[in-house]
């Protein structure tokens, strides 16, 4: 009973931290999706000036830890005159990281579309980017929607890493409560329950979408 009493008492603080987590995640998803779409289109281009830099970007970002990327953005950029507040730095690092993974998802979606549709778009006078915008990408997004949802869930959980640069999101809030109360169980279990409350609905929706897509095949 004492556990539940303590949990109820600290829940407002945890929810405040969760709100920060949600804001960071939404902003990172927004910028990561835009960047990832550009990267995905560039990766499928036959133009080496687009394809090679996009490929290098994906390889570098996916091959290095997110924690390192956060450090580079927050501590490294000031050395070249770019000073970002902690929140902006956290969102920037998460967006950069997410763009690489979303880019690969979009690339797979684009390559799953029959090449004949791209050729038909060319036959109607469209260039590569017009064909992508009006013909290929709308179909690709429908195909990769479950994969994108999984990436967004991963990003929501990975956002906990920005606590290292003093952003008071959910995990840092739990840690601060632990430092104040010396109770490691209640704040961290509470944080875990909130993460589950945020991710499980997305997982269930994703499963339903995937089920409908499989049923339509």
In the chain, where are the structural domains located?
2-216
Q: 4-37: per-residue pLDDT in tens? A: 889 999 999 999 999 999 999 999 999 999 999 9
What's residue 89's pLDDT? 96
Q: Nearest 5°: phi and psi at 197? A: -65, -30
Which structure tokens are listed for 113? 């579309």
Which residues does the chain have with pLDDT short of 70? 210-217
CB-count exposure of residue 164 (10 Å: 0-12, 13-18, 19+): middle
Q: 62-92: per-residue pLDDT in tens? A: 999 999 999 999 999 999 999 999 999 999 9
Q: Is 154 left (phi over 0), alpha (psi -120 to 50) or beta?
A: alpha
Q: Let me know if domain 2-216 sits in CATH 3.20.20.70.
A: no
- Please give the distance of CA 104 from its chain centroid, rounded to a whole number: 13
CA distances from 196 to 75, 153, 190, 192 (A): 32, 10, 10, 6
Using the structure block, give the residue that is written with the tokens 């690339």. 107
Its pTM stands at 0.90
Q: How far apart are CA 98 and CA 75, in angstroms?
A: 20
Residue whose C-alpha is closest to residue 141's, from 105, 170, 94:
105
């Amino acid at each position: 009973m004492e556990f539940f009493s303590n949990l109820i008492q600290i829940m407002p603080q945890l929810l405040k931290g969760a709100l920060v987590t949600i804001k960071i995640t939404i902003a990172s998803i927004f910028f990561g999706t835009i960047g990832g779409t550009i990267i995905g289109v560039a990766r499928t281009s036959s133009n080496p000036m687009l394809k090679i830099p996009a490929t290098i970007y994906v390889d570098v970002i996916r091959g290095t830890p997110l924690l390192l990327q956060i450090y580079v953005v927050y501590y490294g950029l000031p050395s070249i005159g770019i000073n970002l507040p902690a929140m902006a730095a956290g969102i920037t690092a998460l967006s950069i990281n997410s763009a690489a993974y979303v880019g690969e998802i979009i690339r797979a979606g684009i390559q799953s579309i029959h090449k004949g549709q791209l050729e038909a778009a060319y036959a109607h006078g469209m260039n590569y980017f017009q064909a992508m915008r009006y013909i290929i990408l709308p179909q690709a997004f429908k195909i990769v929607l479950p994969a994108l949802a999984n990436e967004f869930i991963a990003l929501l959980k990975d956002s906990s890493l920005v606590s290292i640069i003093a952003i008071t999101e959910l995990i840092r809030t739990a840690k601060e409560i632990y430092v104040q109360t010396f109770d490691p169980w209640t704040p961290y279990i509470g944080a875990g329950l909130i993460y589950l409350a945020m991710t499980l609905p997305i997982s269930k929706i994703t499963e339903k979408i995937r089920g409908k897509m499989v049923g339509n095949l």
